[in-house]
Amino acid sequence: MSVSETSHPFGANTTASEIIDGVDLHGRRAVVTGAGSGIGVETARALATAGADVTLAVRSTDAGARVVARLEAQLPAGSGKLNVKRLDLADRSTVTAFVADWSGPLHILVNNAGVMALPELTRTPDGRETQFGVNHLGHFALTVGLRPALAAAEGARIVSVASIGHLFSPVVFDDLDYRFRPYDPWTSYGQSKTANVLFAVGAAERWADDGITANALMPGNIADTSLARHMDPGQLAGFIDATGLALPPGKTVEQGAATSVLLAASPTVEGVTGRYFEDCAPSRTVTERADAVAGVASYALDRANAQRLWAVSEALVR
């Protein structure tokens, strides 16, 4: 099915609960990374409400356990089960352990975790620049490792949470880790988010025969999230001046999770793959940043870029 064939009443103000209303996910299993806060919690809540058994893949299992306790007290009867597993995307050993511990099919994988605008250049234990290492390479290793489980589901969906921040930078293949150019928090974040989109494009093409679909999305401008935990108030206040990019209208956490849930579970996008969505709809392609507050850069959907990134990523996670 092409995106143009989809039709639904959802939009920028739609909430995750509205997306999931009437959807039955009983018998399905889902993983949501970064489900210890923000839209990850609301994504997990929505999927469990529809009956899916949801694994919260989080750095802190104590924090994850608190989320599970809170959600279990709120979920309606007949909801799916919730459980917590440790996953630190900067630490490859935890990714390997998570994959090794998984058994059986996996129907939904929401790659939601991320870091944004680290003020100083830092590197993961294996030497990668942290934003690229966490936001892209960690999720790449996780998803490739879980491919057999996704294929076994016979119709699995991968959801890659990207950002309008991908407009800050394409993937700079010749200097992924800022070993030559001066480090910049925003171009670093931008290339990691571009990588999130390109991963969906690459997975959609490579894994179609397994019945796997993969799409990326921009959740929206959401203040109540831990994504900006590394930023001080001055950085946030100077966002527009620092990046030259205006912020789109604000959303609640419940609205911010809606596009993730749409791509993870809604029948309205059944069979749609390799696309980028925002406000619960396919995005238009833009060819320059200018004053854009929406849209997807053409370089983020480029198949040649996706193929190159896949090959580079495979080499880096070996």
Could you report the per-residue pLDDT of 26-81, keeping only the tens digit for each? 999 999 999 999 999 999 999 999 999 999 999 999 999 999 999 999 999 999 99
**pLDDT over 50 (residue 213):** yes
User: Where on the phi/psi map is residue 234: left (φ > 0), alpha (ψ -120 to 50), or beta?
Assistant: alpha
**pLDDT over 90 (residue 238):** no
Strand 276-278 to strand 281-282: parallel, antiparallel, or no bridges (unpaired)? antiparallel
Question: Is residue 189 annotated as part of the catalytic site, yes or no?
Answer: yes
Q: CA angle 280-270-74, nearest 5°?
A: 60
CB 94 within 8 A of CB 70: no
Which of 178, 189, 276, 299 is catalytic? The answer is: 189
pTM above 0.85?
yes
Per residue in 92-124, pLDDT (tens digit) is 999 999 999 999 999 999 999 999 999 999 999
Note the pLDDT of residue 290: 76
User: What is the average per-residue pLDDT within 218-230?
Assistant: 68
User: What stretches of 99-241 adopt beta strand conformation (E)?
Assistant: 108-111, 157-161, 213-218, 221-222
Name the DSSP class of 135.
I
pLDDT band at residue 247 under the 50/70/90 scheme: confident
Nearest CA to 169 among 156, 147, 186?
186
**pLDDT over 70 (residue 234):** no
